[in-house]
Structure 1
Amino acid sequence: MTPAEAAERFGWRRVLAFGAHPDDLDFGAAATVAALIRAGVEVTYCVMTDGDAGGFDADTHDTIIERRHQEQRDAAAHLGVQQVEFMGERDGYLEPNHRVRSQVVALMRRHRPDVVIGMHPERDWTRLQRSHPDHLAAGEAVVRASYPAVENAFAYPELLEQGLEPFHLRWLLLFGGPQQHQNLLLDVTGSEQDKLTALRHHLSQHPDVSRMEDFVLGSMADLHRGARARSAPGAPVQPDVEASQGSVRYAEAFHLVEVNAADTISGF
């Protein structure tokens, strides 16, 4: 299944995407985002921390926030993302507390997306770097906001005073979690170079750009090649990605969660 096919199947016309740091969304979902935007889907980015603990150059670290904001704006612009929001939390200190969650709920109610892309709140022990504490906190804040707060008029009543009415979110699309939770692989072949171009904008974070690019391309190719092997009976991933003859194809993996289905009863 391609991102365009997923958008058609699941009714995604408006996407709100949350990342813990500048570059997280580009590592996790940039190829999918690029393909969705080409299919006419509107995507907004929200970056929860300023990335102020990132970078490698002590001599210029006093300007790291401004640099990382601009890097993210430039990367998003390449993909076609029209709007980037920054929550301004401190890098390394993000917590899924009520102050943060109320901001997430406010953004969800303001943008009223069909699907929220976010980081997975569960730790991946096979590659711990995916599970930076801020990543887990960002994922937990988004999941907690998605139910019940975003649809409960009595949660964060100050938001009602701002005209931000509750609504029922249909879908969550989470990345960076354990493999056993991956239940949607999207064929992003043709958008892999968009992902690399977006990541190249985050130069403050890449002391070895070539190694980063090789890793990203290799990981996406491995996901595509491994799709059929992991789709045996009882395995978590279904064969959404077709095998390819004679060419390298690429995929991004997600945990798709239906928050509100036709038979859902919300009792808070």
Structure 2
Amino acid sequence: MADWEVPAGGAPLAPRRALVFAAHPDDLDFGAAGTIARWAAAGSEVSYCIMTDGDAGGFDDAHRPDIVARRTAEQEQAARITGARDIHYFHERDGFLEPSYEVVGKTVELIRRIRPDVVLSMHPERAWDRIQKSHPDHLACGEAVTRAVYPAVENPYAYPELAAAGLPAYKLPYLWFYGGPRERENHYVDVTDLVDVKLAAIRIHASQHPDIAAMEARVRANLQENACRGGLPEGSSAEAFHVVGINTPETIAGF
């Protein structure tokens, strides 16, 4: 783990820059809002990238004419709660996201532009224990980010137009996945003191919640289950991640 993951003197540390990818508005709030809020409060510059406009989401026919504007406004308000600095949009069609050459290229461009210490992304593997985590767009988001992170972001000969535009190759230290299969999870962030912040961010996405009380109960239960699996003290809440070292002292540089 990087130095910024180890608390010093009880103060939470954070990466200098983090870039969080999601398929739809609200995905990253379900997956990582507590961790994001902790990092932002500790001084991290957190950027979001939402790959689709979420135009196929929601439950109310009355929202259809303005669903994209509504979901964009919800995500921007939720980002203010967690402390994210900015949001980038790819404007792909909800339900049809693919890890295409173009989508991977946009992902490479954004990573090279921001040059984060850690990228957070949805997981590219399907979770059979709760398939709702594995919407096809979620898997496509994870695959696009994975293809971008290695080798394209760090390959000076991939997407040469980016280097020509002043965005040279960049070696990303860490890739964190959220929303993946439980058996892949290897890192748990204690968010016990941030559960209310996380729920406040999720609650903003009102267009997606036909039963807010049930949603909140499920989120609280999931966080407690994560903490139990992560070996945290009883009564704790945690967000779970699959952390992959890309360019660290323990990894061999790519070719």
Q: 1:39 aligns with which of 23, 39, 42?
A: 42
Where does residue 15 of structure 2 map in the other structure?
12
Q: 2:104 aligns with which of 101, 105, 111?
A: 101
How far apart are residue 125 of structure 1 and its match?
0.2
* Paired residues, number: 249
Is 1:114–2:101 an aligned residue pair?
no
Amino acid at match of 1:265: A
Is 1:174–2:174 an aligned residue pair?
no
Q: 2:25 aligns with which of 22, 27, 30?
A: 22
Given that 2:13 and 2:42 are in contact with CA atoms closer than 8 Å, whether structure 1 keeps it comes out as no
Matches of 1:88 and 1:210, distance apart in 2: 31
Kindly provide the CA deviation profile for residues 128-175 of structure 1, in whole angstroms up to 9, marking residues without a partner as x: 000000000000000110001001111111112221111100100001
The SS at the match of 2:158 is coil
Pair 55,219 (structure 1): closer, same or farther in 2 beyond 3 Å: same
| Mapping of residues 52-71 of structure 1, within 5 Å | 52-71=55-74
Where does residue 85 of structure 1 map in the other structure?
88
Residue segments in structure 1 that go unaligned for 5+ positions in a row? 229-240
Matches of 1:71 and 1:6, distance apart in 2: 33
Q: 1:126 aligns with which of 125, 129, 138?
A: 129
- Identity among equivalent positions (%) equals 49
Is 1:148–2:151 an aligned residue pair?
yes
Compute the TM-score of the two structures, normalised by the length of structure 1. Answer: 0.89
Where does residue 245 of structure 2 map in the other structure?
258
Q: Displaced runs of 4+ in structure 1, greater than 3 A? A: 4-11
The SS at the match of 2:225 is helix
Matches of 2:111 and 2:42, distance apart in 1: 22
Amino acid at match of 1:204: S
Where does residue 186 of structure 2 map in the other structure?
183
Kindly provide the CA deviation profile for residues 184-226 of structure 1, in whole angstroms up to 9, marking residues without a partner as x: 0111111111110001110000000010000001110111123
How far apart are residue 35 of structure 1 and its match?
0.8
Is 1:216–2:204 an aligned residue pair?
no
Compute the TM-score of the two structures, normalised by the length of structure 2. Answer: 0.93
Matches of 2:56 and 2:15, distance apart in 1: 34
Amino acid at match of 1:25: L
Pair 6,55 (structure 1): closer, same or farther in 2 beyond 3 Å: farther
The SS at the match of 2:63 is helix
Amino acid at match of 2:252: T
Given that 2:112 and 2:153 are in contact with CA atoms closer than 8 Å, whether structure 1 keeps it comes out as yes
Given that 1:104 and 1:141 are in contact with CA atoms closer than 8 Å, whether structure 2 keeps it comes out as yes
Matches of 1:222 and 1:149, distance apart in 2: 36
Could you tell which deviates more after superposition, 113-122 or 152-161? 152-161
Given that 1:51 and 1:68 are in contact with CA atoms closer than 8 Å, whether structure 2 keeps it comes out as yes
The SS at the match of 1:163 is coil
Residue segments in structure 2 that go unaligned for 5+ positions in a row? none
Matches of 1:56 and 1:219, distance apart in 2: 23
Amino acid at match of 2:221: G
The SS at the match of 1:191 is helix
Amino acid at match of 2:244: V
Matches of 1:43 and 1:143, distance apart in 2: 19
Matches of 2:60 and 2:132, distance apart in 1: 21
Amino acid at match of 1:27: F
Amino acid at match of 1:129: Q
Amino acid at match of 1:114: D
Given that 1:186 and 1:253 are in contact with CA atoms closer than 8 Å, whether structure 2 keeps it comes out as yes
Matches of 1:5 and 1:102, distance apart in 2: 30
Matches of 2:171 and 2:99, distance apart in 1: 21
Matches of 2:245 and 2:93, distance apart in 1: 31
Given that 1:7 and 1:36 are in contact with CA atoms closer than 8 Å, whether structure 2 keeps it comes out as no
Could you tell which deviates more after superposition, 101-110 or 158-167? 158-167
